[in-house]
Amino acid sequence: MKHIQKILQVSQYQLPVMLEKQAHKTPREQLVNYDELREYFDNTPFSVFFTTVLQVATPLFSKCFDG
């Protein structure tokens, strides 16, 4: 977040985190038919939502905004 504050040329403050992760289970644990959906969307633009890369990249992306 400090990077964004710097770009905007505003005073830099450590801002409180307002978001809280809601899902504490993996998609496979949350969806009864996860494997069926993964197979159905295989070889489509939506297959990216069923890869482990996305699950690993999401926390890394959120660090960009932590300051």
The CA distance from 46 to 37, in Å, is 10
pTM confidence score: 0.45
pLDDT surpasses 60 at 64 = no
Average pLDDT, the chain: 77
41-63: pLDDT as tens digits = 999 998 888 875 545 445 544 55
Residue 57 has what pLDDT? 47
Residue 15 has what pLDDT? 83
Residue 33 has what pLDDT? 92
Q: Is 38 exposed, middle or buried (0-12, 13-18, 19+ CB in 10 A)?
A: middle
Residue 52 has what pLDDT? 59
